[in-house]
Amino acid sequence: MESIIAVKGLTKTYASGFQALRNIDLDIHRGEIFALLGPNGAGKTTLINIICGIVRPTAGTVLADGHDVVRDFRAARARIGLVPQELSTDMFEKVQATVSFSRGLFGKPPDPARIEQVLRAVSLWDKRDAKIMTLSGGMKRRVMIAKALAHDPDILFLDEPTAGVDVELRRDMWAMVRGLRASGVTIILTTHYIEEAEEMADRVGVISKGEIILVEEKATLMRKLGKKQLRIQLLAPLSAIPVALATYPLELAGNGCELVYTFDTQAEGSGIAALLRQLNEAGIDFRDLHSSESSLEDIFVSLVSARA
């Protein structure tokens, strides 16, 4: 895989002495959607801000499409679009004017047709002459996305793009991001909503206390760390797990009314069928079965708490 962003040995210590990033190495592949997960204060925004040129690194290098973001900042930044977390907009400006401004600022000649395309893509064309202050929060977020896209970047950073956005709009935004990926844009998003990463990302990186603790294909991650559970609801409560079933990783729950069987998704054969036969032979009746798979959220929580 060709990497479009290469972060090497990146460290950031703020003037206060707070070390936000510790020796980070990270490669983002061209054309992927990469989700950066981490608790508040983990260093997600600092990492993005360094790549985009808003914060200066203490040590280490970042290459964006082969250009060093400090030494060769013009070439690097021209390829990057950033949608920051905060809804920062020029309240009194009109939508179209502010998006055109962004295009110029990033060194592209005026192109009203392209601005129209971008505004239509984020469903803001009808609002092109509206003052930004009159727009709803979701629309303002889309104005910021339009500003970030106005100069046709190859790399798009979305810092918490759906924070405070309602469910429907979030779905729209996901569709838009997928559309962008289809057009060849590499997307790096940070998010609190694990659901979002699970839904969108090709790969997931987890950052905690300024360190990248894991980077993995989402599917691999789910497979590797994901667990499946089978909950068996019994007709009559058990006081202990019968000896005949001692070889199974079973636990009793719900005052002995429930057997919980945890199995590895990677193992060959789940062993469910054998377990159920054994239950039958032992004369244990059950009235319901419920199997579940751990979500990315469970994986994330266990990863971060294991580090804490």
Partner 1 sequence: MNLHAIRAIYGFELSRWFRTLGQSIISPVISTSLYFVVFGAAIGSRMGSIDGVSYGAFIIPGLVMLNLLNESISNASFGIYMPKFSGTIYEVLSAPVSAAEVVLGYVGAAATKSVLLGLLILVTARLFVPYEIAHPFMMFGFLVLTAITFSLFGFIIGIWANGFEKLQIIPLMIITPLTFLGGSFYSISMLPPVWQTIALFNPVVYLISGFRWSFYGVADIGAGVSLVMILAFLIVCLTLVWWIFRTGYRLKS
Q: Which residues bind partner 1 (CB under 8 A)?
A: 14-15, 52-56, 73-78, 80, 82, 84, 86, 88-92, 97, 100-110, 147
Residue with smaller CB distance to partner 1, 54 or 244: 54
Residue with smaller CB distance to partner 1, 86 or 288: 86
**Taking the complex as a whole, how short is the minimal distance between the CB of residue 264 and partner 1, in angstroms?**
45
Residue type, 101: F
**Taking the complex as a whole, how short is the minimal distance between the CB of residue 210 and partner 1, in angstroms?**
15
Residue with smaller CB distance to partner 1, 53 or 256: 53
3-class SS at 222? helix
Q: Find, among 219, 225, 255, the residue nearest to 240 by Cα.
A: 255
**Taking the complex as a whole, how short is the minimal distance between the CB of residue 145 and partner 1, in angstroms?**
13
- Contact between 21 and 10 (Cβ < 8 Å): yes
Residue type, 9: G
- Contact between 241 and 284 (Cβ < 8 Å): no
Q: How far is 157 from 35, CA to CA, in rounded Å?
A: 10
**Taking the complex as a whole, how short is the minimal distance between the CB of residue 202 and partner 1, in angstroms?**
24
Q: How far is 296 from 58, CA to CA, in rounded Å?
A: 32
Residue with smaller CB distance to partner 1, 91 or 175: 91
- Contact between 259 and 231 (Cβ < 8 Å): yes
Strand order in the sheet with 80-83: 80-83, 155-159, 186-191, 33-37, 203-208, 211-217
Residue with smaller CB distance to partner 1, 92 or 267: 92
**Taking the complex as a whole, how short is the minimal distance between the CB of residue 100 and partner 1, in angstroms?**
8
Residue with smaller CB distance to partner 1, 106 or 261: 106
Q: Find, among 52, 66, 65, 50, the residue nearest to 148 by Cα.
A: 52
**Taking the complex as a whole, how short is the minimal distance between the CB of residue 247 and partner 1, in angstroms?**
58
Q: How far is 56 from 12, CA to CA, in rounded Å?
A: 8
